[in-house]
Structure 1
């Protein structure tokens, strides 16, 4: 047992020495005393004596309650002891290696107690991270039980007792039981198993058995270098795909996300297999890694280990995801504070930016080193002559490189030229490792002098105006740090997150996604996705200006002030510096300043109101601006959060674009005169289109027109002809069915329509109007685990309520959309066929919502010649919000005339048009009382 302890402490001391020498961890004086502290956490000499005494006391019962308590107390002592040491400032390396050492000794003691009679038949082996001697506070302890031959009954019984004992004392064990033959078979088929066994370490048992297994499963024998490298590379590619090919998700996985611990381990695995390197330090000796690059790798690992260790203690379980739940506590633990009283999230965003910048560096090094390995392993025997592109660049084995090492040093503008070469020669697979290193080495030379040089400006604008490869090369430029070098303002948004549920990516990643979406609109093979937007794009006079607006639209995020206005200043300065015509610079600047107005108008205003269109058109002023703004808006929303885009928003933006374009096309003197006729023409056109489709379904136009006479004009402005056709056909069919039985339509008509493409459900409710219908509907829906994306409420002139909703299931992973739709109908039928339940609906949200709260803001505006009042309510989006708002209307005897519902991340932004029971607008006193009630309620 002493040998296990001594070996582990030697390993720890070796890691400590490496870190101290490289100034990555605390100085030796701060670190080494912790090694002594680890030895004092548990007195294993005393523990072993107690195990021996227990065996003497219970000679016929190897595992007994007294032994379980003794060992459970030892585990608790280890956990609490290490936690106290860490919280008192001890370095994380000591905790990670120290826990492994202590668990080694504990398992060795248990093994010696249980397996002393069959020691030569079994080897107990540590694998995975535990095999490397690394155990975070709540990490699984991965064991392989190696058998000399297939287990007999005695061995099987002992193994069951051993594993059960480990679980009983609260050790989280991952285990496998294999013979040597099984190890050979599994390792030859599965690269993950081969990697685990490559890092295997003997804990206890038969040394000859373990040595034989290591010799026979050596990756040298089962996996040649090329196969091993390709398999591990495929594994990383699959892992990246699983995590959306980005390190910038707002709840990243410390191990599995890009730039995470797996990327560091990947370098170690390949180095161990190909170069027989036992540590990353050996790669410096091999010439594959520079000293400063090693420092970055070790510093990155050290930070990720600190975060992971703290995260395990906070979560009290194995948790490798940086969940919103823990980000505030972690930010505080790492010393980040909100600088201003009204800035509750600044500390979190700074902490997360430190994390993102770290993994970005690790991702860059991972890419460079894997390219190095690719050249050394895959192309080791390929002596292909370089193909010259120009004086600065050539292609070797499909990868671009500089013609000499000093190219970037002598001419920093050549760094930008590299990306143009990659755009112009799409057959090039990537950049050679030495050239990536040269970029890292000389990017600091891109200074103000270079930025102001006509050559650099010409090259950058050439990248932005290319017909291909813009997205790909901007991503590469960001990955290599060149975007931030060339546009210093961009540096502040690299790795910058926004602590809310609306923005799913860091600002720099979102920006690149915006440009990706713009580029997709330009490609004709994708025009079916967004026909209107794709058509608009084809007529842009200069797409490069659109890309520039995308690049700058959020560049001022995180600065104090209006990021749209600040970014507009940056964009104008950039355009002026790069010699763009004044009108182009003004357009880009205006787009950045105004990039939010179209989405806000479409989602928060009543775009069926001609006044809304007039005000919006007055801000846009020209068709050219409208075209660019429309494309920027679509691209921006779709890049913000995959869950935020749906065909409803597509329809709203398209409708706003068409109405504004029509308004701007008119003679200025006729615009006000024509608004009413425009409205009438639009309604006439949509009714004609709907009638045409209804006639194809065998429905008489007279019946449809008679029904439509009971609808108001807003209905036709708020629905597509497809929706109008669907509603009309269902209502006429239901009325005819009731008429055949000599009745009117008294039972609620409830129907759904599933849209798989947008993961949404359309809901129609048509029933006799009564007080509380809307309340009953939204109360029922609040129990169906669906989000209400949009709602339209109409009271017909013949006494019916027509309500339409667009719903998004909260979780569709385990449910079929059609099943959810059926459940919604059942719940609504049950609710609407009985009287209104006035019981308040409790407000509840997802676990995440408790970390994201928005103040409740209520505003009022009298409309329709003071016959109605529009109420705008902004509050935290939770289940039950709408039900409680509707109940408040009932309690205050307020008639709901229409509703528009919208959500933006954690925020609900809802509009209601209401009146008194006497069909008048709300008085000032009623408005004041309502505001107080809503704020108290929500």
Structure 2
């Protein structure tokens, strides 16, 4: 075998792809200036004058590339090549200075030769403005003192220019040995490109690399590279639809495209990505899509580097609006410019995923390189496959016109995959993607096609996996056009972690897992409830449709219900099922809003909620939909606190709906709780009666038995002391319970809130009580900034001490609060106009005020202080956070315990709270 004949040509000099090169950097003119300076001052002294010359050349070159980027904001490849060209010229100048002037040799020996090679992305001739400069210094034999001096001199020049250099200095033998043992070194050298120096050394190194390292190891390389990719995806969230994607390393990002090229080059020794077409790994059309996606990703990455002045590869919320503006995305009805830009980003990420599947299929067919490592275990092969064939356990097509003959097969292939637990052959997926346009209104209204789709959607097996395949092949969006409108659509906020389509598919997957009982430990109530549902397909269809109308410029719940009324009959649902789905979609946010923003101990809260729900079946369906909707938002959003609140609301509403007006009376509930407490404390009867009499009826109704027992013990232990603080983990609610028993006085609430925040805690719920003898008994549920309870003794002690210090006014609270860091460093990217809503109908006893604002440190403290200044009494506070948005609800009365009804006073209260809620209060009108 003639290995040398298979060695690819060196990648093109990036300069060949650039117009007006000398506007970026004029190496010849710079070389002449450097020669003159050295001639005039001599080498050691000239260095201090040459360095500013090179620094200015780098700065001016970057400025020119930046100007070109702003003028042609989508020219990603051109800008990446321009940056590589700029660095090339500087490296060449520096090489010549080091070799010809710093360490010149008149008659170099065979060992005094050196080649400078670009590796990695730099070797490919593609760099973002602040990418690392990855260089390999190659010598024919073991390094001599001369080569060590030259390398050191060059590195000092590069470092002094402020470049981040990734470098290696090796002999050719060392290079071969290291490349054999290290995958990352082998990958970097795969894209090696000659920059400057001894061409003979470079050519010999390239020959040895492909002869001694690459030859015969392609299967191992492919397996290792794909394993590396899977690990990277897992680290980055294992979804290409996370709303703050890593453009370089994330799933569907640049590294995925580069991996395809590396594999193709390793196996077929191609010189460029274009050559993947010649060797049959991509079609010409697929390569165009490859090139277009890579160009877009390079443009985005170059903008990010240019804007931040650093190597920034994560497309964070604070960068997204400016990149969208630079790339000329504009607002449209229902979608902001940034949401349109990010949708386009995710569509490109989807293209990358599609290309990866096709590429690996070709590789599997032509090379059998160990690509298919995860075949499903099949107990038996189905005998009838409706005309489809099995290819090594995967569903494949008998011929290329199979879908065209009957387009319903485009849905049927996924139904078969789900029913029989089969993979779909990547070439069949490719054909489905190609033929997706065959799905027209005739197919959409075909009863058989709709039944097949509904079977997949409601599958007890793994609908998430199969629906994701349908989405990747564009079949999902073609068959359900309303779903197609939300494919790759993101919401510009810090609450939703995924695009709308990804969120929906994840929610359906969770629904199936709950239905199978797989998540009984996390969702015991939902698991038990789902077993009692009269109609399971209603909940699956409602989950599919709950967010389907997002981005249309109106209330997505109302618009989604309209979609349901039209789509459900097409899918084969009966009129009563259609009506229930539409109701669930219209009200899918109702249960979470009541549970998280209202006082569940207030009888009217439950009464109003039950009157809206009307039936137990609706309640059960709504509970399960609410749970999967929240859980599918993203990691860390669901917690035991939310589970408990939803369970409390569900049980109270179910009792009311089942028993109607026969629910337990207020006095009966209080008597039952007193009986439980008496048994727990085991006090003498007279002493217990004296203690129980101190607690008001609203207290008995509001608090659960375990909190009442803890509170009572605290009161007993405190005796005549007028301050006692309790703190401990409340595992059942996923938080730390802080109880304050103190002499009641105005401002107590805001001081406690401030003390908790100073210690790093976030209050998620607060119940404020006053005993009949004038003592405050306040219960706070507190979490750390990550939504977890403070569990270590030292942490709880610090919480208690901070509250005690705040109440004793030992240190200036406002100064400590100002010193706390911001909760969300990127929250400034969002503009949330604060507002306060007053509701005098939500409770029979209290005025309810809901404040919406941008979340920030000490927000609750400032709102509590505004309420203190307004001379009102706070009875309970309910804190809900949705990413960057906080919704804090307060149940209040005037100082005499009555609702506030004066319009003038309510208006003043709204204005004061709105001002306190503003990030910059001076910007809000008083």
Equivalent position of 1:123 in the other structure: 115
Equivalent position of 2:49 in the other structure: 66
1:331 lines up with 2:324 in the alignment: yes
Equivalent position of 2:71 in the other structure: 88
1:197 lines up with 2:189 in the alignment: yes
Equivalent position of 1:290 in the other structure: 283
1:350 lines up with 2:334 in the alignment: no
Contact 1:866 1:920 in 2 (8 A): no
1:261 lines up with 2:254 in the alignment: yes
Cα distance in 1, alignment partners of residues 136 and 684 from structure 2: 75
Q: 1:749 pairs with 725, 730, 743, which one?
A: 725
Structure 2 vs 1, CA of residues 631 and 221 (structure 1 numbering), >3 Å: closer, same or farther?
same
Equivalent position of 1:622 in the other structure: 615
Cα distance in 1, alignment partners of residues 497 and 853 from structure 2: 20
Contact 2:727 2:736 in 1 (8 A): no
Q: CA deviation at 1:379?
A: 6.2
Q: CA deviation at 1:490?
A: 0.5
Q: After superposition, give the CA deviation of every residue in 1:216-275 in whole Å (9 maximum; x if it has no partner).
A: 333873562221111111111111111221111111111122211111111111111112
Equivalent position of 1:882 in the other structure: 860
Structure 2 vs 1, CA of residues 76 and 623 (structure 1 numbering), >3 Å: closer, same or farther?
same
Structure 2 vs 1, CA of residues 458 and 85 (structure 1 numbering), >3 Å: closer, same or farther?
closer
1:392 lines up with 2:387 in the alignment: yes
Equivalent position of 1:19 in the other structure: none
Equivalent position of 1:27 in the other structure: none
- Secondary structure of 1:378's aligned partner: coil
Task: Please give the residue correspondences for 1:542-561 in structure 2 after superposition, counting only pairs within 5 Å.
Answer: 542-561=535-554
Q: 1:928 pairs with 900, 907, 916, which one?
A: 907
Q: Which has the higher contact order (CA 8 A, sep 6+)?
A: 2
Contact 1:777 1:832 in 2 (8 A): yes
Equivalent position of 1:577 in the other structure: 570
Structure 2 vs 1, CA of residues 387 and 50 (structure 1 numbering), >3 Å: closer, same or farther?
farther
Task: Please give the residue correspondences for 1:171-190 in structure 2 after superposition, counting only pairs within 5 Å.
Answer: 171-190=163-182
Equivalent position of 1:3 in the other structure: none
Contact 2:824 2:884 in 1 (8 A): no
Q: 1:423 pairs with 408, 418, 428, which one?
A: 418
Cα distance in 2, alignment partners of residues 562 and 83 from structure 1: 41
- Secondary structure of 2:20's aligned partner: helix
Structure 2 vs 1, CA of residues 701 and 96 (structure 1 numbering), >3 Å: closer, same or farther?
farther
Structure 2 vs 1, CA of residues 665 and 816 (structure 1 numbering), >3 Å: closer, same or farther?
closer
Cα distance in 1, alignment partners of residues 710 and 38 from structure 2: 79
1:368 lines up with 2:344 in the alignment: no
Structure 1 residues not aligned, in runs of 5+:
1-6, 17-34
Equivalent position of 2:747 in the other structure: 772
- Secondary structure of 2:117's aligned partner: strand
Cα distance in 2, alignment partners of residues 596 and 884 from structure 1: 28
- The normalised TM-score by structure 1 is 0.88
Equivalent position of 1:100 in the other structure: 84
Contact 2:83 2:127 in 1 (8 A): yes
Equivalent position of 1:638 in the other structure: 631
- Secondary structure of 1:763's aligned partner: strand
Equivalent position of 2:236 in the other structure: 243
Cα distance in 1, alignment partners of residues 434 and 347 from structure 2: 18
Range 813-822 or range 241-250, more displaced: 813-822
Q: CA deviation at 1:213?
A: 3.4
Equivalent position of 2:6 in the other structure: none
Q: 1:39 pairs with 12, 22, 30, which one?
A: 22
Structure 2 vs 1, CA of residues 547 and 919 (structure 1 numbering), >3 Å: closer, same or farther?
closer
Q: After superposition, give the CA deviation of every residue in 1:575-602 in whole Å (9 maximum; x if it has no partner).
A: 2123322211211121111111111111
Q: CA deviation at 1:360?
A: 1.0
- Secondary structure of 1:218's aligned partner: helix
Equivalent position of 1:647 in the other structure: 640
1:455 lines up with 2:448 in the alignment: yes
Q: After superposition, give the CA deviation of every residue in 1:22-81 in whole Å (9 maximum; x if it has no partner).
A: xxxxxxxxxxxxx34123322212211222233344546277322221211111121112
Task: Please give the residue correspondences for 1:511-526 in structure 2 after superposition, counting only pairs within 5 Å.
Answer: 511-526=504-519
Structure 2 vs 1, CA of residues 437 and 700 (structure 1 numbering), >3 Å: closer, same or farther?
farther
- The normalised TM-score by structure 2 is 0.89
Equivalent position of 2:762 in the other structure: 787
Cα distance in 2, alignment partners of residues 713 and 653 from structure 1: 24
Contact 1:854 1:907 in 2 (8 A): yes
Contact 2:511 2:628 in 1 (8 A): yes
Range 350-359 or range 138-147, more displaced: 138-147
Cα distance in 2, alignment partners of residues 376 and 904 from structure 1: 50
Contact 1:553 1:567 in 2 (8 A): yes
Q: CA deviation at 1:534?
A: 0.6
Range 208-217 or range 530-539, more displaced: 208-217
Range 347-356 or range 430-439, more displaced: 430-439
Compute the RMSD of aligned alpha carbons: 3.2
Q: After superposition, give the CA deviation of every residue in 1:148-203 in whole Å (9 maximum; x if it has no partner).
A: 55656665455444323212112232223334444334322332221111111222
- Secondary structure of 2:552's aligned partner: coil
Q: CA deviation at 1:749?
A: 1.3
Range 220-229 or range 461-470, more displaced: 220-229
Equivalent position of 1:483 in the other structure: 476
Contact 2:462 2:512 in 1 (8 A): no
- Secondary structure of 2:694's aligned partner: coil
Contact 2:15 2:85 in 1 (8 A): no
Equivalent position of 1:303 in the other structure: 296
Cα distance in 2, alignment partners of residues 640 and 855 from structure 1: 23
Structure 2 vs 1, CA of residues 440 and 702 (structure 1 numbering), >3 Å: closer, same or farther?
farther
Q: CA deviation at 1:791?
A: 2.1
Equivalent position of 1:711 in the other structure: 695
Contact 1:259 1:359 in 2 (8 A): yes
- Secondary structure of 2:44's aligned partner: coil
Structure 2 vs 1, CA of residues 36 and 567 (structure 1 numbering), >3 Å: closer, same or farther?
closer
1:54 lines up with 2:37 in the alignment: yes
Structure 2 vs 1, CA of residues 260 and 686 (structure 1 numbering), >3 Å: closer, same or farther?
farther
Q: CA deviation at 1:569?
A: 1.9
Q: After superposition, give the CA deviation of every residue in 1:129-166 in whole Å (9 maximum; x if it has no partner).
A: 00101112221111223355565666545544432321
Q: CA deviation at 1:758?
A: 8.2
Cα distance in 2, alignment partners of residues 9 and 400 from structure 1: 39
Range 65-74 or range 232-241, more displaced: 65-74
Q: CA deviation at 1:798?
A: 3.1
Structure 2 vs 1, CA of residues 94 and 784 (structure 1 numbering), >3 Å: closer, same or farther?
same
Task: Please give the residue correspondences for 1:118-157 in structure 2 after superposition, counting only pairs within 5 Å.
Answer: 120-148=112-140, 151=143, 155-156=147-148
1:437 lines up with 2:437 in the alignment: no
- Secondary structure of 2:826's aligned partner: helix
Range 214-223 or range 42-51, more displaced: 214-223
Cα distance in 2, alignment partners of residues 683 and 574 from structure 1: 49
Structure 2 residues not aligned, in runs of 5+:
1-8, 919-926
Q: 1:564 pairs with 557, 568, 575, which one?
A: 557
Equivalent position of 2:923 in the other structure: none
1:217 lines up with 2:209 in the alignment: yes
Q: After superposition, give the CA deviation of every residue in 1:824-877 in whole Å (9 maximum; x if it has no partner).
A: 333223323336958586596533222223222223345899975332222222
Q: After superposition, give the CA deviation of every residue in 1:877-903 in whole Å (9 maximum; x if it has no partner).
A: 211222222222333333333322222
Contact 1:277 1:283 in 2 (8 A): yes
Structure 2 vs 1, CA of residues 924 and 181 (structure 1 numbering), >3 Å: closer, same or farther?
same
Q: CA deviation at 1:914?
A: 2.9
1:847 lines up with 2:825 in the alignment: yes
Contact 1:683 1:716 in 2 (8 A): yes
Contact 1:750 1:829 in 2 (8 A): no
Cα distance in 1, alignment partners of residues 163 and 614 from structure 2: 68
